[in-house]
Amino acid sequence: MSSPFVWRADAQIEFEKSAQWYETKRAGLGVAFVNEVQLVLDKIEHQPDRYPFAFVDIREAPVSRFPYCVYYRVKSDRIVILSVFHEARDPITWQSRR
């Protein structure tokens, strides 16, 4: 049985803004970004321990085709999505999310 996802509000906002940004660059690119993130989320859902720790108890799952990673924490009853984060940004942003 898989654990449900719980999105931090700021993670959901940054994910949506990133998808919108890609869509403004080329029609369909935002949808492609969302699809690639969803593939990562599917992998996390079925095997939460698949990806390595990036910081303390936070795991890092890279997104194919885009310079993003999904940062998440595995709890006993849920998976908390902390960030969908561009690799070029300062990681202190997602590291400070508890």
Q: Is the pLDDT of residue 1 over 60?
A: no
pLDDT digits (tens, 9 = 90+) for 24-47: 999 999 999 999 999 999 999 999
CATH class of 5-95: alpha beta
Where is pLDDT greater, at 2 or 58?
58
Three-state DSSP state, 10: helix
> Domain ranges in the chain?
5-95
Q: What is the dihedral of CA 43, 47, 48, 50, to 10 degrees?
A: -90
> If you search the block for the tokens 């509000």, which residue do you land on?
9
